Chain A
Amino acid sequence: MTPPSSLSLAAPQGGAGGGPAQPDPRLGLIGLRAEGLRVEYDGFVAVDNVSFELAPGESFGIVGESGSGKSTVLRALCGLAPLASGNVRLTGGDALPAPGSKAFRRQVQMVFQDPYGSLHPRQTVDRLLAEPLAIHGVGDAEARIERALDEVGLGTGFRFRFPHQLSGGQRQRIAIARALILEPQVLLLDEPTSALDASVQAEVLNLLEALRQARGLSFVMVSHDLAVVTHLCQRLMVMQRGRTVETLPAADLAASRVQADYTRSLMQASAGFRRTPGALPAHGI
């Protein structure tokens, strides 16, 4: 996966003209519907007929192993992966922007996996946060940047630092601030904590949850960690080799009420190593 620059989501591709972007995010919660998504790379089908619905204000998880297509689904939602067929629509209001438009990108923002790769190493935090505002023609940058830093618990003392002067957890907070500074309603999270230490992971998960409640955000979160997804999401989809294995409420997964064998094997694997009874104990020799 190529490390995206700070521009990749916010970059204008022509189309919608300048001026402050609508709609007002306070109007209501926005959800998202994906139907029959299919992504192909040179004939290789990375995602095959994946459909799901994200209710307004809901948090939806996608779980799978590497190569299952989970990140590609996320990238397809925001236009970073080419759709061979299928479509994405926002739900929960009237006159919602169409995918590919500038207004859509303002509503749907992404946080990437690796905070070491997703922040421009030669831009200060201030510049990183000012970029999306400039692209979308949002005024009042000064106050917004300060507010965004406060919201992710960093404070303005971090404003003129470079990414290499921050820890992994602080960088991921900046990445979250960059996504939220446009006041989007849908946040796409691609393994937001897998590059972080366990204690830092807990802090970032708590931050995401608090922000979601405060702003009425909808989340689509991708992770390989079942425990993280069930913690943050209400419903989740299990993927394997580009296809949906099953979709179920997180509470069912937590209570081991699963249908598919693959989901069960993932659950067992996440419980840790189990020595087969016949194996020799290491010190018994």
Chain B
Amino acid sequence: MPQTASPLLTVEDLRVAYPDREGRLTEVVRGVSFTLGRERLGIVGESGSGKSQTGRAIMGLTAPGGQVTAKRLDFKGTDLLNCAAAERRRLRGGRIAMVLQDPKFSLNPVMRIGAQIAETLRAHQPVSARQAREQTLQALAAVQIDDPERVAALYPHEVSGGMGQRAMIAMMLIAGPELLIADEPTSALDVTVQLEVLAILDKLVAERGMGLIFISHDLRLVSSFCDRVLVMYAGRVVEQIAAPDLAQARHPYTQGLLNCLPQLGAARHPLPTLDRQPEWAK
């Protein structure tokens, strides 16, 4: 994959730890390092692998109590770990945006969709209410919503999952971010809707030249969508691989994950299962 000269994001030895009841720290992300250019990077892993915690740490959304450390966490020259809270707020939603998994839970249920999108824009740019409304409608049109006026006036419970997720993408993209983190953006959607939403996301990322971190448990989906894939296991990156070469993955965990999925047209009874080795987690 061609890399741009100066990376958008540099992560070096990122660690996230949470205290237990006695105050002992448990590391859930253990030394993750990668750089991101203007490309689509996939992070894949099963539940508990630390993939979402990695995304949240970059976004600055680690839950209270969690401790984030890194040798370097740099977004275009800004040190994300040591910058002022106000600066971090300006970045969050402005230049770094995040799409979450389920529109049912991540949109504000008591605010109309249009108002939520306009709020994001006005938090980051000095625009008039009228301009905000115009841009909101444009953003909804950009995610292929046919009747933006109507949808802007609806509440989240009045729209389908696919429509809600498109509204969330519109909200995340309206302030023109340079880096988009998508945490399981299509897992709550039906397969056919999933592909529509991905196509929209793909088009917008390409047109605007954004960097994208796509977090998912679905190895096959990620490899068909991204340029490069990081495979995480027990808080570490066990393998980094260009998406087209996934079939040649070397790490037994990656191979096992690919292998244990039932495939159309290839009957295997019983399915191979994953034989977890303790040394993978070391």
Residues of A within 8 A of B39 (CB): 282-283
11 contacts across the A-B interface (CB closer than 8 A): A202-B260, A202-B273, A203-B273, A230-B262, A231-B271, A254-B265, A273-B199, A281-B206, A282-B209, A283-B227, A285-B38
A245-274 CB contact bits vs B (8 Å, 1 = yes)?
Answer: 000000001111000000001110111111
Residues of A within 8 A of B223 (CB): 272
Residue on A nearest B253 in the bound complex, by CB: A199
Number of A-B contacts (CB under 8 A): 119
Residues of B within 8 A of A156 (CB): none
Q: Is the CB of B206 within 8 A of A198?
A: no
Determine whether A65 belongs to the interface, using a CB cutoff of 8 Å to chain B: yes
In the bound complex, what is the Cα–Cα distance between A265 and B191 (angstroms)?
Answer: 10
Query: A142 CB to closest chain B CB, in angstroms?
Result: 31
Picked from B256, B262, B270, the residue with its CB within 8 Å of the CB of A228 is: B262
Hey, which bits of chain A sit against chain B, CB under 8 A? Answer: 65-66, 168, 197-199, 201-203, 205-206, 209-210, 224-228, 230-232, 253-256, 265-267, 269-276, 279-285
B113-153 at interface with A (beta carbon < 8 Å): none
Assuming the A-B contacts A198-B219, A283-B4, are A230 and B264 also in contact, with contact meaning beta carbons closer than 8 angstroms in the complex?
yes
Picked from B4, B192, B202, B261, the residue with its CB within 8 Å of the CB of A202 is: B261
Picked from A231, A272, A276, the residue with its CB within 8 Å of the CB of B220 is: A272
Residues of A within 8 A of B268 (CB): 231
In the bound complex, what is the Cα–Cα distance between A206 and B192 (angstroms)?
Answer: 28
Determine whether B61 belongs to the interface, using a CB cutoff of 8 Å to chain A: no
In the bound complex, what is the Cα–Cα distance between A269 and B199 (angstroms)?
Answer: 12
Q: Is the CB of A199 within 8 A of B221?
A: no
Residues of A within 8 A of B221 (CB): 272-273
Could you say which of A199, A231, A282, A283 has the most chain B C-beta atoms within 10 Å of its C-beta? A282
Query: A59 CB to closest chain B CB, in angstroms?
Result: 12
Query: B93 CB to closest chain A CB, in angstroms?
Result: 21
Residues of B within 8 A of A226 (CB): 264
Determine whether B212 belongs to the interface, using a CB cutoff of 8 Å to chain A: yes
Residues of B within 8 A of A255 (CB): 265
Q: Is the CB of B191 within 8 A of A227?
A: no
Residue on A nearest B194 in the bound complex, by CB: A269
Query: A255 CB to closest chain B CB, in angstroms?
Result: 7
In the bound complex, what is the Cα–Cα distance between A238 and B205 (angstroms)?
Answer: 34
Residues of A within 8 A of B192 (CB): 65, 265-266, 269
Q: Is the CB of B190 within 8 A of A205?
A: no
In the bound complex, what is the Cα–Cα distance between A272 and B47 (angstroms)?
Answer: 21
Query: B205 CB to closest chain A CB, in angstroms?
Result: 6
Q: Is the CB of B262 within 8 A of A231?
A: yes
Assuming the A-B contacts A273-B224, A282-B205, are A253 and B270 also in contact, with contact meaning beta carbons closer than 8 angstroms in the complex?
no
Q: Is the CB of A227 within 8 A of B261?
A: yes
Assuming the A-B contacts A202-B272, A206-B270, are A279 and B195 also in contact, with contact meaning beta carbons closer than 8 angstroms in the complex?
no
In the bound complex, what is the Cα–Cα distance between A1 and B199 (angstroms)?
Answer: 30
B6-40 CB contact bits vs A (8 Å, 1 = yes)?
Answer: 00000000000000000000000000000001111
In the bound complex, what is the Cα–Cα distance between A225 and B191 (angstroms)?
Answer: 9
Residues of B within 8 A of A284 (CB): 206
Picked from B161, B206, B262, the residue with its CB within 8 Å of the CB of A280 is: B206
Query: A270 CB to closest chain B CB, in angstroms?
Result: 6
Determine whether B82 belongs to the interface, using a CB cutoff of 8 Å to chain A: no
Query: A208 CB to closest chain B CB, in angstroms?
Result: 10
Determine whether B159 belongs to the interface, using a CB cutoff of 8 Å to chain A: no
Determine whether B68 belongs to the interface, using a CB cutoff of 8 Å to chain A: no
Query: B1 CB to closest chain A CB, in angstroms?
Result: 7
Residue on A nearest B190 in the bound complex, by CB: A65
Determine whether B71 belongs to the interface, using a CB cutoff of 8 Å to chain A: no
In the bound complex, what is the Cα–Cα distance between A225 and B218 (angstroms)?
Answer: 13
Q: Is the CB of A205 within 8 A of B267?
A: no
Determine whether B263 belongs to the interface, using a CB cutoff of 8 Å to chain A: yes
Q: Is the CB of A209 within 8 A of B270?
A: yes
Residue on A nearest B220 in the bound complex, by CB: A272
Query: B56 CB to closest chain A CB, in angstroms?
Result: 20
Picked from A224, A270, A271, A273, the residue with its CB within 8 Å of the CB of B198 is: A273
Assuming the A-B contacts A253-B264, A270-B191, are A197 and B217 also in contact, with contact meaning beta carbons closer than 8 angstroms in the complex?
yes
Q: Is the CB of B202 within 8 A of A199?
A: no
In the bound complex, what is the Cα–Cα distance between A259 and B264 (angstroms)?
Answer: 17
In the bound complex, what is the Cα–Cα distance between A31 and B220 (angstroms)?
Answer: 36
Residues of B within 8 A of A280 (CB): 206-207
